[in-house]
């Protein structure tokens, strides 16, 4: 009887885990073909690579996202608009085109599911993304609220890592300082 109970619990756990992965996978397969609607090819590549990173967890892909965000912001000399590449918001322009009424699972949802656990565990590259994004993208509204939560975790749990990342990207942060949000 105990064996049957354990087997049932394991199967239920596996099915619940599968549902979470499946939700992100469905989202990724649904939005990837729609990335062509993003008018700026650099922003399209940034979002496409970010979604690929969230799915794979490959450091090399995240390094490219960070590098491309820095290049895009440095080229214009000002933070990039989050209109299309909002990583922490549900209702970005891209999401609204996907579903004009409601965007229950969005890039912001994907970040919460896939990036937040990496931040909580102290993944240095994920932390680097948060700080570079905080300088490279002109956050506003819901995007800022989502980003504020990530910044708060970094300030509370990883102050030394912040210093290391600031040192690593010193010239970039000199041109475009980190936008520390009010509640972070």
In this structure, what DSSP letter does residue 77 have? T
| 116: phi then psi, degrees, rounded to nearest 5 | -55, -45
By the 8 A CB rule, do 172 and 70 touch? Answer: yes
Q: How confident is the model at residue 6 (pLDDT cuts 50, 70, 90)?
A: very low
Alpha helices in the chain (DSSP H): 2-31, 41-56, 59-76, 82-85, 93-98, 107-110, 116-120, 124-136, 141-157, 159-168, 170-175
Q: How confident is the model at residue 116 (pLDDT cuts 50, 70, 90)?
A: very high
Tell me the domain boundaries of the chain.
Answer: 2-175
Give the integer Cα–Cα distance in Å for 6 and 88: 38
Q: Is the model's pLDDT at 121 over the cut of 60?
A: yes
Helix 59-76 / helix 41-56 crossing angle, nearest 10 deg: 160
- Condensed to tens digits (0 to 9), the pLDDT of residues 104-113 reads 677 888 899 9
pTM of the model: 0.82
What does the pLDDT average to over 33-60? 92
What does the pLDDT average to over 177-184? 85
Q: Which of 168, 170, 137 shows the shortest CA–CA distance to 151? A: 137
Instruction: Return the pLDDT at 8.
Output: 43
- Condensed to tens digits (0 to 9), the pLDDT of residues 122-178 reads 999 999 999 999 999 987 777 788 899 999 999 999 999 999 999 999 999 999 999
CB atoms within 10 A of CB 77: 8
Q: Residue 109 CA to chain centroid, in angstroms?
A: 9
Specify the 3-state DSSP secondary structure of 80. strand
- Condensed to tens digits (0 to 9), the pLDDT of residues 63-102 reads 999 999 999 999 988 898 888 888 887 555 656 565 555 5
Instruction: Return the pLDDT at 12.
Output: 43
């Amino acid at each position: 009887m105990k064996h049957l109970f354990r087997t049932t619990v394991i199967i239920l756990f596996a099915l619940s885990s599968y549902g979470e992965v499946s939700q992100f996978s469905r989202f990724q397969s649904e939005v990837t073909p729609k990335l062509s609607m993003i008018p700026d090819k650099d922003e399209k590549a940034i979002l496409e690579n970010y979604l690929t990173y969230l799915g794979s967890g490959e450091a090399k892909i995240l390094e490219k996202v960070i590098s491309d965000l820095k290049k895009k912001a440095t080229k214009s000399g000002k933070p990039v608009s989050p209109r299309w590449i909002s990583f922490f918001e549900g209702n970005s322009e891209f999401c609204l085109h996907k579903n004009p009424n409601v965007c229950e699972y969005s890039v912001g949802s994907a970040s919460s599911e896939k990036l937040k656990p990496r931040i909580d565990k102290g993944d240095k590259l994920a932390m680097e993304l948060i700080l570079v994004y905080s300088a490279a993208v002109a956050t506003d509204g819901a995007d800022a609220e989502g980003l504020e939560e990530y910044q708060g975790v970094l300030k509370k749990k990883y102050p030394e890592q912040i210093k290391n990342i600031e040192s690593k990207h010193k010239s970039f942060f000199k041109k475009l300082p980190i936008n520390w949000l009010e509640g972070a």
